[in-house]
Amino acid sequence: MKSVLLIIIILGILFSGCVSANDLDSSVYTGPIFETVNQNVVNGVISVNAGEYVYYQLSLPSQAKVSGDFTAFGGSGNDIIVLILDENAYINWINGHSVSAYYNSGQMTTDSISASLPKGNYYLIYSNAFSSFSNKNVNTNVVVSYSICVENCGS
């Protein structure tokens, strides 16, 4: 029984000198280091003709957050449809099929845009396809944010 107690005491003394992760010197950290990238997609007023749409292609190297807002002017409803689609959904959408969107404003005058996207290629679309006669102006600001590895990235 004394030997078990002695072993416990010795182990306690040995482990009392252990260092927590907070005690490590950051200068010896060798793991990956990431940097946040904030990329402006669009900022200002865009014009969308009646029956048409305008798009911005997004190529994301990692998971990303898209955020922003828009306000539409023109026509009787001052409205626009804003979508964020992946490549497959975009192809189906331009061919008139219903699709699942990462963001779909519906026909709105103003809204906030927010979507989380996995790595890949996407389309931010301002659609006035529903309007036969009225061109629209859209005041919009959209930013995409993602992290990239800048040091000790491995293979």
37: closest CA among 63, 57, 56, 55?
63
Where are the chain's structural domains? 32-151
The structure's pTM equals: 0.79
What CA–CA distance (Å, rounded) separates 30 from 34?
12
What CA–CA distance (Å, rounded) separates 117 from 103?
10
Q: What percent of the chain has pLDDT over 70?
A: 82
Question: Quick one: pLDDT at residue 16?
Answer: 47
Return the CATH superfamily for domain 32-151. Answer: GOLD domain (2.60.120.680)
In angstroms, the first-to-last Cα distance of the chain is 52
Per-residue pLDDT, averaged over 16-42, amounts to: 72
The pLDDT confidence band at residue 20, using thresholds 50, 70 and 90, is very low
Question: Quick one: pLDDT at residue 27?
Answer: 65
Question: Quick one: pLDDT at residue 28?
Answer: 77
Beta-carbon contacts of residue 112 (< 8 Å; ≥ 6 apart): 67, 68, 69
3-state SS class at 73: strand
State how far Cα 151 lies from the chain centre.
22
